[in-house]
Chain A
Amino acid sequence: MAQVPYIAAPSVPTINTFLNHDFRISSWLLTKDHKRIAILFMLSITLFFIIGGAAAALMRINLAAPNGWLVRSETYNKLFTAHGVIMVWFFLIPSIPTVLGNFLLPLMIGARDLAFPRLNLASWYLFITGGIITLAALVLGGVDTGWTFYTPYSSSFSNTYVILTVFGIFISGFSSILTGLNFIVTVHQLRCPGLTWFRLPLFVWGLYATSIILVLATPVLAMTLALVGIERIWHMGIFDATHGGDPLLFQHMFWFYSHPAVYIMILPAMAVESELITCFSRKAPFGYGFIAFSSIAIAVLGFLVWAHHMFVAGISVYSGLVFSFLSMIVAVPSAIKVFNWTATLYKGSIALQTPMLYALGFIGLFTIGGLTGVMLATLGIDMHVHDTYFIIAHFHYIMVGGSVMAYLGGIHFWWPKITGRMYSDWWGRISAIIIFMGFNLTFFPQFILGYLGMPRRYHTYPPDFQFWNILSSAGASILAFGYLLPLIYLPISLRYGARAGKNPWRAAGLEWTTQSPPIEINFETIPIVTGPAYDYPRVLTETQSGQS
């Protein structure tokens, strides 16, 4: 693989990178280079984000008035289903692992590629196939079951394109499994000499924990959705009480995947966060071991809490008590992380550049999302606010306030490494602030709406709730504007941005020791690690002497 073409041509002024050694379409569609696959994923999930966002925008426009002036209830059902399905499976779950993880994992551990490059490409094809099938279902007429596909709605009562959607998710599930498998084997087998486990960047620990969930939870979803399909085709009755089955069985199996799936979304976000906070505080993280092991703890404990989604669905009160208790325990490792990040900031030399603003926004929003999560784990409160906007606000604080902020922060942090160009930091900071404010204005009112009793998934509501809904819709338009900005200034930077150099942020980590954008084989020679991660005193002296 690493032969003549990549070393030759020194007379050309441009440097050789993974981007410009071959421009044919086939060199992208058949690439085995983890960096190119990461970019394929980045483009595809951005597309899905826009589609899912459009569905959300339509919902918020409709909810600006209480009478459901824009869409009928059937259309509204299809909108929130499309929004949930696309955002969960085709944006959030692949976002950080497949884009940043794919690009950075080999660079961070000093490897030339992931362990199974061909599987990695297969993973993208599975993802895109699943995505197209699901989009086809939405174009053909949509699905109205909600992203959770609760039986018996999805098995007996819906006459929409459930099977096609479920099939698309089933296929993209194998993409998740292959990505997780690839990451696990890569971390075990391909670390460069001297890179022991406790010298790994915290991003790698986070990705490893995420991969464990990906490989152990996703097959459960795949089989459960397959059973829903079988149930619909042959009217089987596994989830149908009239045939002796049990609808709650579906919820058990579904949440065994879908609760850990929340951690698939937030663990890599936390991993990005650890990198950003340390870099822009110019300090080693406070409590490296605690941050590393709390990721593993979250991955494991995350599997023990799923039935807190079912407190009012008719599960036994005794197991409700157990699940309530276990759910609160998960808050402990999450809190450890938040405390460690803030302690890292303490007496750091903080630089408020774009990625850091996203990182600080993440801490605030994730804390609100996490604390309301502890409230919801309490049986009594959950009974009261279940299926209201309180839940919506809570999980958007985690998934959007947490994961999307971290994804954007990560993109802004590693953009110079991926593209070799600097974007406008001023616009970056403006967009981070707009997104933070727009987000809070959108979702904080929903906490209040939920507390006041407004149920989720209705296209109309009593006029009493209109004030808070208008606030939320106004916030959503600010948020949408904030998301549009990076879509404009980041591409502009590709042409007009300043050249980034190896290490524009003066950050620690092996990925910053190779050129930007990296050459196709990542490193001319495999690096040898001799010291701990985040050795900022050393990095700062080295970059001072003109290496960047």
Chain B
Amino acid sequence: MAKQSESARIYWVIYFTLLFLLGATIALAFVDMGHHWNTFIAIGIGCMKAGLILLVFMHLHWRDWLTWFFAAAGFIWLAILLTLAAADYSTRNHPSHSSPKGEPTLLAPSE
């Protein structure tokens, strides 16, 4: 096993940071920031929390590149899935194909 801190203190520091981030993300849910900022910030705070858990609770900080690779692989591949799927959904409907209400139509009715 790699060398690492044996003090319990770091776990409690991380714990209270996580609780603070949880409080922050709940508070921000009540503020309308517009332009999808709520989504970005909520997911961003989620990433920070996940990062702390990965690095300290799961000891990734003290692990070699191989463990980092497999820890990252799942998220990288999920990013591929999300990005390329979103590439379709976000460009599927040219503005001229939208319905009058602005809600995009997934398939033209004739199909």
B-binding residues in A (CB < 8 A): 188, 212, 216, 220, 241, 246, 248-249, 252, 256, 303-304, 306-307, 314-316, 318-319, 322-323
Q: Does chain A have a CB within 8 A of B80?
A: yes
Stretch at the interface among B1-9, B33-41, B82-90: B82-90
A241 to chain B, nearest CB (A): 7
Given known pairs A188-B66, A246-B106, A315-B92, the reply for A303 and B111 (CB within 8 Å) is no
Instruction: Tell me the nearest residue of chain B to A216, going by C-beta.
Output: B77
| Size band of the interface chain B makes with A | 10 to 19
- For A318, give its contact among B66, B74, B91, B111 (CB under 8 Å): B91
Q: Does chain A have a CB within 8 A of B26?
A: no
- Near A by CB (< 8 A), chain B positions 64-97 give 66, 73-74, 77, 80-81, 84-85, 87-89, 91-93
Sampled A-B contacts (16; CB under 8 Å): A188-B66, A220-B81, A241-B107, A246-B106, A249-B85, A256-B81, A256-B85, A304-B84, A307-B84, A314-B107, A314-B111, A315-B88, A316-B93, A318-B91, A319-B91, A322-B84
User: What chain B residues lie within 8 Å of A303 (beta carbons)?
Assistant: 77, 80
User: What chain A residues lie within 8 Å of B81 (beta carbons)?
Assistant: 220, 256
B67 to chain A, nearest CB (A): 10
Q: Is the interface of B mostly helix, strand, loop or mixed?
A: helix
User: What chain A residues lie within 8 Å of B92 (beta carbons)?
Assistant: 314-316, 319
Q: How far apart are the CA atoms of A252 and B92 in the complex, in Å?
A: 13
* A322 B87 Cβ-Cβ under 8 A: yes
User: What chain A residues lie within 8 Å of B89 (beta carbons)?
Assistant: 316
* B106 A241 Cβ-Cβ under 8 A: yes
User: What chain B residues lie within 8 Å of A246 (beta carbons)?
Assistant: 106
Instruction: Tell me the nearest residue of chain B to A256, going by C-beta.
Output: B81
* A319 B87 Cβ-Cβ under 8 A: yes
User: What chain A residues lie within 8 Å of B106 (beta carbons)?
Assistant: 241, 246, 248, 314
Q: How far apart are the CA atoms of A319 and B91 in the complex, in Å?
A: 7
**9 closest Cβ contacts across the A-B interface?**
A316-B92, A316-B91, A318-B91, A319-B88, A319-B87, A315-B88, A216-B77, A252-B85, A316-B88
User: What chain A residues lie within 8 Å of B66 (beta carbons)?
Assistant: 188
B88 to chain A, nearest CB (A): 4
Instruction: Tell me the nearest residue of chain A to B92, going by C-beta.
Output: A316
* B107 A319 Cβ-Cβ under 8 A: no
B53-70 CB contact bits vs A (8 Å, 1 = yes)? 000000000000010000
Instruction: Tell me the nearest residue of chain B to A246, going by C-beta.
Output: B106
User: What chain A residues lie within 8 Å of B88 (beta carbons)?
Assistant: 248, 252, 307, 315-316, 319
Q: How far apart are the CA atoms of A318 and B89 in the complex, in Å?
A: 10
B104 to chain A, nearest CB (A): 11
User: What chain B residues lie within 8 Å of A220 (beta carbons)?
Assistant: 81
Q: How far apart are the CA atoms of A314 and B89 in the complex, in Å?
A: 11
Highest count of chain B CB atoms <10 Å: which of A216, A220, A246, A322: A216
A243 to chain B, nearest CB (A): 12
Q: How far apart are the CA atoms of A135 and B75 in the complex, in Å?
A: 35
Instruction: Tell me the nearest residue of chain A to B88, going by C-beta.
Output: A319
Instruction: Tell me the nearest residue of chain A to B81, going by C-beta.
Output: A256
Q: How far apart are the CA atoms of A316 and B81 in the complex, in Å?
A: 16
A84 to chain B, nearest CB (A): 24
Q: How far apart are the CA atoms of A323 and B92 in the complex, in Å?
A: 14
Instruction: Tell me the nearest residue of chain B to A189, going by C-beta.
Output: B66
A341 to chain B, nearest CB (A): 29
User: What chain A residues lie within 8 Å of B91 (beta carbons)?
Assistant: 316, 318-319
User: What chain B residues lie within 8 Å of A216 (beta carbons)?
Assistant: 73-74, 77
Q: How far apart are the CA atoms of A34 and B13 in the complex, in Å?
A: 46
Q: A256-B85, A318-B87, A319-B88 are in contact. List 18 more A-B contacts (CB 8 A).
A: A241-B107, A252-B85, A256-B81, A304-B84, A306-B84, A307-B84, A307-B88, A314-B92, A314-B106, A315-B88, A315-B92, A316-B88, A316-B92, A318-B91, A319-B84, A319-B91, A322-B87, A323-B84
A10 to chain B, nearest CB (A): 44
User: What chain B residues lie within 8 Å of A316 (beta carbons)?
Assistant: 87-89, 91-93
Q: How far apart are the CA atoms of A314 and B110 in the complex, in Å?
A: 12
User: What chain B residues lie within 8 Å of A252 (beta carbons)?
Assistant: 85, 88
B44 to chain A, nearest CB (A): 25
Q: How far apart are the CA atoms of A306 and B89 in the complex, in Å?
A: 15
B110 to chain A, nearest CB (A): 11
Q: How far apart are the CA atoms of A146 and B84 in the complex, in Å?
A: 25
Q: How far apart are the CA atoms of A541 and B74 in the complex, in Å?
A: 47
Q: How far apart are the CA atoms of A306 and B107 in the complex, in Å?
A: 20
Instruction: Tell me the nearest residue of chain B to A188, going by C-beta.
Output: B66
B65 to chain A, nearest CB (A): 12
Instruction: Tell me the nearest residue of chain A to B66, going by C-beta.
Output: A188
Q: How far apart are the CA atoms of A323 and B93 in the complex, in Å?
A: 17
User: What chain A residues lie within 8 Å of B85 (beta carbons)?
Assistant: 249, 252, 256
Instruction: Tell me the nearest residue of chain A to B85, going by C-beta.
Output: A252
Q: How far apart are the CA atoms of A306 and B74 in the complex, in Å?
A: 18
User: What chain B residues lie within 8 Å of A322 (beta carbons)?
Assistant: 84, 87
User: What chain B residues lie within 8 Å of A241 (beta carbons)?
Assistant: 106-107
A305 to chain B, nearest CB (A): 9
User: What chain B residues lie within 8 Å of A249 (beta carbons)?
Assistant: 85
B72 to chain A, nearest CB (A): 12
B85 to chain A, nearest CB (A): 5
Q: How far apart are the CA atoms of A303 and B81 in the complex, in Å?
A: 8
User: What chain A residues lie within 8 Å of B87 (beta carbons)?
Assistant: 316, 318-319, 322
User: What chain B residues lie within 8 Å of A315 (beta carbons)?
Assistant: 88, 92
B71 to chain A, nearest CB (A): 13
Instruction: Tell me the nearest residue of chain A to B107, going by C-beta.
Output: A314
Q: How far apart are the CA atoms of A252 and B66 in the complex, in Å?
A: 30
